[in-house]
Amino acid sequence: MNNIKNIIILITLTLSFNIYSDYEFSIKGGLNYSMVEGIKDSSSSSSIESFYKTGGVLFLSMKKSIKNNFYYNINLGINQKGGEIKITDNLGNSVDGSPHKRSFYTIEIPLILGYNIFENINLYIGVYKSIVYAYAINDYTSYGAYNKEGKMMNDFGFLLGVEYNYNDFLIDFRFQQGFGNLKQPVPESSEHYTNSRQFVFMVGYRFF
């Protein structure tokens, strides 16, 4: 619950900023290509391989120029990330009908610092925090995703990217590396997933 409270507080602070003429608001949506690294505990004899899968993203963005071509950007959105996991025994045989597609549906807040290198091209770096509100194995979805300790799963990490502006249209490409521990919320399982990694491609529109 503390994670949800922190998200609500951050959203409230974001929306409570005074809106000046140099703020830019935009919406972006697109696809990601993501994976989560599979880890097993020491008592398991199986091996885990991780593969990329595609998902969707949607973000609202508030951007403000600082000075000397620098700006900051606060995003709020939904990100569907995950991966495909293949579990095999010590003979190389598939276990539990794998491979399985794992999806983590997250509410995500990236905080970005950018630099305008040319008239319509920006480079940026940042950090992000996300809360998992749903978890899916193949076609089965569970809402209210908790890890083995009974806490809501979360992820955090860094990002870097490039944005191209043409009039009010935006093209954005970013890489995100997570460091959160996305444990599988099944107590009897010996496997869990961590270190999300994703490439995100978005197009958007700056509406004011």
Q: Please state which of the ranges 47-51, 102-106, 122-126, 166-170 shows the lowest mean pLDDT.
A: 47-51
* CA-CA-CA-CA torsion sign (181, 187, 189, 190): positive
Average pLDDT over residues 35-54: 70
pLDDT single digits (tens) 120-152:
999 999 999 988 888 777 766 565 555 555 556
For the structural domain made of 28-206, what CATH number should be given?
2.40.160.20
Least confident of 26-30, 99-103, 185-189: 185-189
Instruction: Tell me the C-alpha distance between 55 and 77, whole Å.
Output: 14
Domain boundaries in the chain?
28-206
Cis peptide before 187 (omega within 30 of 0): no
Q: H-helix or E-strand containing 8?
A: helix 2-15
Distance of alpha carbon 73 from alpha carbon 88, whole angstroms? 43
Q: Are 36 and 196 in contact (CB under 8 A)?
A: yes
In the chain, DSSP finds a helix count (H) and a strand count (E) of 1, 10
- Phi, psi for 114 (deg, rounded to 5): -125, 170
> What is the distance in angstroms between the CA of the first residue and the CA of the last residue of the chain?
34
Q: Is the dihedral of CA 27, 74, 184, 53 positive or negative?
A: positive
Q: Provide the whole-model pTM.
A: 0.77
Q: Which two tokens stand for residue 62?
A: 């508030």
DSSP helix/strand/coil, 86: strand
pLDDT tens track for 147-196: 555 556 788 899 999 999 998 899 999 999 988 776 654 444 555 556 78
